[in-house]
Structure 1
């Protein structure tokens, strides 16, 4: 009977070929593919925001975080099974670089293009959500929850954001590895879901998700009704501190660096060391 999964060694070897393919894609294809991934992640982030906006009062923080992670799991299912390019997953290109299959320029060029495409896709979904007026739902509570999530994310210290970024992409890249190992659709879906649920429920930080989540809070707070609900729920908060500076400096930059470290080193680097390096030497 044929096995329905690849071994860790076989999976690690497959990433070398995938890296060659990804870095040789035309720029337009990279941008379009990464646009889709940014949009898919944003869909999941909006779903999580809507589903959990009033849960804490009924079920507590822990279970609400679990449900949020559970519904956000659709993100990586869409990215990996439906097909697109996500910056955090592409940090695994480090395996090809360590194997001398890819140059530094090839890796950095791919990362830059995918990062930009992801951002554009996330902002496109932001425009859709703003135009749909979904944030005014449930007496502006959905929008207020979007603002609250963004506010908390932009009030982390650099080290908090960096280490939460490490934890996030360690799990996300393990999901990528599991999906690559799976040989049937259901196995890939389950493999994508569990690690993503874990990173959301744990409170870790994903740079592409935050490309939607924090701008969503920045836009939603401009709605007077939403701002009033936020002021009622969190009277000590200064919403002026939720701004583009805090978005980039307090969150996006350190989270991105943390995501790169865990994906490129803790998963890509270690898996290359364990399963690819010796195979190359022996060949």
Structure 2
């Protein structure tokens, strides 16, 4: 059957985490670089569609094409390894240590950022004809996104930071659900359908994805957005990374692991005896 039961795909989650923790630095960076680049292209695609159609829902409906492609190709996003790799450590897989988990996260971050930055430079050059003219409509929109989602949060102080963090949490709750959903099926169509649904939710709701932002904000800076590198790091990337970690690990990885890999013992019949006796007394079955 193409559908895997929860205990089966949770075992696949743990196996995937173990594999990623043991992966060479070379392969980790290459796969992360390509994931960051493809997701950045998908973000540029979605922004272009939104600008041209005037309908953000259309952009959100089509954005998951990049997410599906990168996971079918076996590439890694930071948001995914936040959820999967710690499970191998919790499951006491041989050789998986806290250090190897952190090492994987660090190299995936580097690779994702490099890939997204590459595409940011390319797209910025395209929408300005090699930086020879002012940005076109898509370029101006990229600059506005960077400004509204950095300075816009900063204007609200601590409340803005808390909102940013929560958007990061909710984002990776959905994105990691998409990562896990791909493991529910052994068919390409099943994987794509399962991944597509939660990714639409995250993108249309405007939640904060650390890797998407590695494209949006550097491109915004290149295109004259009214914010600084410090604004980007303090009022978006760092809180978003923390929120993504909490959302993916707490609401997806740990919950699935706790109930499907470390399932609590079932209640014994003794616990239901009073109910059974009452049913007999009342003439029930």
Question: Is this a same-fold pair by TM over 0.5?
Answer: yes
For residue 114 of structure 1, the aligned residue among 108, 112, 127 is 108
Q: CA-to-partner distance for each residue in 1:178-237, whole Å, 9 max, x for gaps?
A: 10111100111111111111101111110000000011111111xxxxxxxxxxxxxxxx
Select the structure of larger CA radius of gyration.
Answer: 2
Aligned equivalents of 1:152 and 1:262: distance in 2? 23
For residue 22 of structure 2, the aligned residue among 21, 24, 34 is 24
- Is the Cα contact below 8 Å between 1:31 and 1:113 reproduced in 2? yes
Scaled by the length of structure 1, what TM-score is found? 0.84
Give the 5 Å matches for 1:149-188. Answer: 149-154=145-150, 155-156=152-153, 157-188=160-191
Q: Secondary structure at the match of 1:38?
A: helix
Q: Any unmatched runs of 5+ in structure 1?
A: 57-63, 222-238
Query: 1:99 — aligned with what?
Result: 91
CA-CA distance at 1:65 after TM superposition: 2.6
For residue 196 of structure 2, the aligned residue among 178, 193, 196 is 193
Change (3 A) 1:184 1:42: same
For residue 75 of structure 1, the aligned residue among 34, 47, 66 is 66
Aligned equivalents of 1:99 and 1:14: distance in 2? 12
Query: 2:240 — aligned with what?
Result: 255
Q: CA-to-partner distance for each residue in 1:19-67, whole Å, 9 max, x for gaps?
A: 11111111011000100000011001110111112444xxxxxxx2321
Q: Secondary structure at the match of 1:53?
A: helix
- Is the Cα contact below 8 Å between 1:98 and 1:272 reproduced in 2? no
Kindly indicate which of the two structures has a greater share of residues assigned to helix.
Answer: 1
Aligned equivalents of 1:72 and 1:138: distance in 2? 26
Query: 2:280 — aligned with what?
Result: none
CA-CA distance at 1:94 after TM superposition: 2.1
- Is the Cα contact below 8 Å between 2:61 and 2:200 reproduced in 1? yes
Q: Secondary structure at the match of 2:179?
A: helix
CA-CA distance at 1:139 after TM superposition: 7.5
Scaled by the length of structure 2, what TM-score is found? 0.84
Give the 5 Å matches for 1:172-251. Answer: 172-221=175-224, 240=226, 242-251=227-236
Q: Secondary structure at the match of 1:83?
A: coil
Aligned equivalents of 1:205 and 1:42: distance in 2? 14
Query: 1:126 — aligned with what?
Result: 120
For residue 8 of structure 2, the aligned residue among 3, 7, 10 is 10
The structure 1 segments of at least 4 consecutive aligned residues displaced by more than 4 Å after TM superposition are 134-139
